[in-house]
Structure 1
Amino acid sequence: MDKISIIAIIGGVSAIVAGQALEGGNVASLLQLTAFMIVIGGTLSAVMLQSTPRQFLTGLKMLRWIFVPPPNDAEKQIRDIIGWSQGARRGGLLSLEPQVGVQTDPFTRKALQMLVDGGEPDTIRAVMDVELSMFEHARKQSAKIWDAAGGYAPTMGILGAVLGLIHVMENLSDPSKLGAGIAVAFVATVYGVGSANLLFLPIGAKLKNIIASEVAMKDLIVEGIVAIANGENPRIIESRLRGFLALHN
């Protein structure tokens, strides 16, 4: 569980609510269903329009990473690779065949299978680099829906403000309806700017950091597999792979 994300979201919302209360404003005035529908509904619709169904749904699923990041234990991965290297030196590459079936990550399983099948180091690297490039591209395209939401939300807030002011102008002769229209106008702007800068843009940035960490992990795997294919000493392989740990701190 990523506690800092929970603290950040609660802290950001609390700061806005507390600021409203300290200025003597009514906190309940920030709760406007109409403004929420305009900003959030409009933003989601715009993001859906620019995305493919796969990108949009994957991007929504990635939201859980903000609170529960995917497992990414570089230390364990290095230990596994060193174990494979030692096993290959003792019993040959074919002795690693049982390890292929227990891998839950398709990327790792494919790289290890190519090693067991006797693939040349350059061939293994070329194939897995293409696989890694496609993985990174797909992940980043899905994460971009949150950056897009951060761009559209303020504009939707302005749209909500204009609609609220139109409502006000239509009811100038009825003072009892002016308050609601003005509230929608200003609260929509708060929702648009607030959601973009407190949620959507930070979420997009954090997802890109997580993706970069995932890519570094898979790059580590490729480096280790290629080193085993080259017959390098396990101690040398370990020393080289530990350079990747800085990307996981």
Structure 2
Amino acid sequence: MDKLSLFGLLIAITGIFGGQLLEGGTLGSLFQTTAFLIVFGGTLGAVMLQSPRKVFFTGISMGRWVFFPPHPDMQQLIAQVVEWSVLSRRDGILMLENRIAEIREPFMQKGLQLLVDGNSAEKIREVLEVDVDTHEQLSWQSSRVWESAAGYAPTIGIIGAVLGLVHVMQTLGEPSKLGAGIAVAFVSTIYGVGLANLVFLPIANKLKAHIMAQSKRQTLVIDGLMMIANGEHPRFIETKLQGYLE
């Protein structure tokens, strides 16, 4: 679990609520169901309207990466590639066929299968780079779902503020209803700006970092398989792949 993301969100929320209390306000004044429905519903609808079905649902699914990153330890991945190289050098590349069933990741399965089938290093790279490019395009488009939400939310918040003021103007003769209308107007703006800058935009940027890490991981696998195909020494392979570690 990414504790930094969790702590960051908690600090942001605590800072806002704490500031509200220090100013003498109440937390209850920040909770307006009407304002939340306007901002959240309007933003969600706008994002759904602009996004293809697959991109939208992939982007929503990727949201969990903020707290649960998808990529395993790079050092462990290097050790696995080096193990393949040792096995292929000692017993032959065909012995790696027994390892394919043990791999859960489709990308690595495909790469190892290409290696076992006797393809050259260039052909392995050519095939796998297509997969990397396709995966990157879908991932980047999906991360923009959250980025788009960050762009729409403040504007929808302003729409909520205008609707609240319209309601206020319609009830000028009823002072008891003025407070609720004004509250919706201001809280809608807070929700729009707050969700955009504290939730949607940070999530989008964190997802981009994870996408870059995944691409780096896949490039490591491609390099490792190419070196195995070329018959490089396991020690050389390990030394080169160590360069991918930060």
1:95-118 Cα distance to aligned partner (Å, 9 max, x none): 111011111000000000000000
2:152 corresponds in structure 1 to 152
2:127 corresponds in structure 1 to 127
Q: Which amino acid aligns with 2:213?
A: S
The separation in 2 between residues aligned to 1:26 and 1:103, in whole angstroms, is 54
The separation in 2 between residues aligned to 1:10 and 1:2, in whole angstroms, is 13
**TM score, norm. by length of structure 2:** 0.98
How many residue pairs were aligned?
Answer: 246
The separation in 1 between residues aligned to 2:54 and 2:196, in whole angstroms, is 23
1:136 corresponds in structure 2 to 136
Answer whether contact 1:158 1:189 (CA < 8 A) is retained.
yes
Structure 2 stretches lacking a partner, 5+ long? none
In structure 2, the residue corresponding to 1:236 is in which secondary structure?
A: helix
User: What aligned pairs does 1:1-249 form with structure 2 within 5 A after superposition?
Assistant: 1-246=1-246
Q: CA RMSD in A?
A: 0.9
The separation in 1 between residues aligned to 2:172 and 2:233, in whole angstroms, is 83
1:38-77 Cα distance to aligned partner (Å, 9 max, x none): 0000000000011111111111111111111114211111
- Percent of aligned positions with the same letter in both sequences? 51
Answer whether contact 1:38 1:188 (CA < 8 A) is retained.
yes
Runs of 4+ in 1 over 6 A off after TM superposition: none
1:12-52 Cα distance to aligned partner (Å, 9 max, x none): 11111111111111221100000000000000000001111
Q: Which moved more, 1:151-160 or 1:64-73?
A: 64-73
Structure 1 stretches lacking a partner, 5+ long? none
In structure 2, the residue corresponding to 1:68 is in which secondary structure?
A: coil
1:136 to partner: Cα distance: 1.0
Answer whether contact 1:72 1:217 (CA < 8 A) is retained.
no
The separation in 2 between residues aligned to 1:22 and 1:117, in whole angstroms, is 68
The separation in 2 between residues aligned to 1:26 and 1:91, in whole angstroms, is 72
The separation in 2 between residues aligned to 1:156 and 1:119, in whole angstroms, is 54
1:186 to partner: Cα distance: 0.3
